[in-house]
A and B are shown apart, each in its own frame.
Chain A
């Protein structure tokens, strides 16, 4: 490892904040620091204006109305609000909720908690690429189904779900449709109307904005209970003083992504394909997780036979490369990834998974460096492994 050489390939976990975003945020810490709820004087007015401007920018990118964007503190909060809020507001209509089996833990565990509150949750299976089948969606629907939640793109392997079609099925059946777009917003185009989305979660820190800002799009007319009760901010759906610097940063980040999405998608897709093809060609007994084409432009995910993911990540780190794994050893629960198991991988296979996610500052030479180092790392760990 060259001294100080560090390559970040975990953009799916979090992103650095773009310096243009930081610059936009700074005045809102020190000068325009007012509380938007105190809008009788100029300090509050400045903050209120910034909040509404940010809301407008993001709404227009999603094809939503300003009044349909609720700012929250995290995608986890947005997903919790969506599931629990819809469940409790519509429980007189029904208690049946459908989610996919590869949702993020915050959706899975919200649904699990709702089960303890008397709701019924059904999990949709996925195929070997992680795709939800529309026929399964139709089959799962009952008279008392109130909500379907399927993520826009999966966080582990980047598979892009047929959200538009699932939304259409929900429309036809009078069921609310929520999608978790934490991984996809800013990377692939989203239009809440064209895609028949009633509720959508997105997060700032996955798209070069600051941590601590996220949103929940709630279509006008959707019946939802708030999660936080208090001063009635965010149209009564999320009481709390809004984190103005973070929200302003989020909006700036969205604006930049909108401007650059076309070129950036092309650039990242090319780099990602170079990485995927290189790894599969250079490393024997290596396999791709997720769909070869229907995947986020920045996500590559593999599994390597006979070795374990945490070891791979740790060994890569000693060469300055930051990647991630959801192997059993790396998880707090010591269980293999529920996503990879849902795709049909055996626990032994899921044990050797590696996710490399690219981003705004990934260069071709970084990918080439990984293609030089990763085969060595895999080979060494295989020498140590009893299986060959």
Chain B
């Protein structure tokens, strides 16, 4: 049911893990199935003084499709300017993976959302001007995030602790 390309990315995902002190984080969740995707970015400026994504990594709790779209979006975004990256929509993601099963198309939206959120987070933290579409997008994602964060609140709290102290998996359910 998955294309070869999807399975390749699932088996050998690119750029997974955390970035220490990221310049922006995009945390999104899918309220339908419950998948969660976190995207970390490091931002730099090119010769033309344009901001671009110097490094990008992901962490995903989800199915084959969710992991594959996470992996492909890091490929699509790495080294690109914000301007170019913000054009990456779900269709581009699906196309790059040579297709997704219809029921899994929502996973591609998740990846596109995460990337936009990471950029929004960077712009917001650095008190930079945020394009209106990105603001609008952020408001929508925020609503959905509340629902999903409520679902995983115990785990997210534990995760924040790990970020501070560094700890391994606990046996507590």
The chain A residues found within 8 Å of chain B, CB to CB, are 284-285, 287, 305-308, 310-311, 314-315, 318, 327-330, 332, 334, 336, 346-349, 351, 382-388
Contacts and interface: CB of A to CB of B under 8 A. Distances in A.
Interface in B154-173: 155-156, 158-159, 162, 167-171, 173
B33 A328 contact: yes
A314 B59 contact: no
14 contacts: A284-B168, A285-B169, A305-B169, A306-B169, A308-B35, A308-B63, A311-B64, A334-B33, A347-B151, A383-B17, A386-B27, A386-B38, A387-B155, A388-B168
Given A308-B61, A311-B62, A388 B35 contact: no
B62 A329 contact: yes
B36 A386 contact: yes
B169 A308 contact: no
Interface stretch (B8-16, B115-123, B126-134): B8-16
Closest 10 CB pairs of A and B: A329-B63, A386-B59, A310-B63, A386-B38, A328-B33, A385-B61, A334-B33, A387-B155, A314-B64, A384-B16
A315 B36 CA distance: 19
A280 to B, nearest CB: 11
A285 B173 CA distance: 7
Residue of B17, B62, B156 ringed by the most chain A CB atoms within 10 A: B62
A307 B35 CA distance: 10
B124 interface: no
B60 interface: yes
Interface of B: 2, 7, 10-11, 13, 16-17, 27, 32-38, 58-67, 70, 103, 151-152, 155-156, 158-159, 162, 167-171, 173
Contacts of A327: 63
A304 to B, nearest CB: 10
A336 B168 contact: no
Contacts of B156: 387
Nearest to A327: B63
Nearest to B30: A334
Contacts of A336: 34
A332 B32 CA distance: 12
A347 B60 contact: no
A327 B63 CA distance: 9
Nearest to B38: A386
Given A311-B64, A349-B173, 7 more contacts: A285-B171, A334-B103, A351-B34, A384-B59, A386-B27, A386-B59, A388-B162
Contact of B63 (A311, A347, A349): A311
Contacts of A314: 2, 7, 10, 63-64
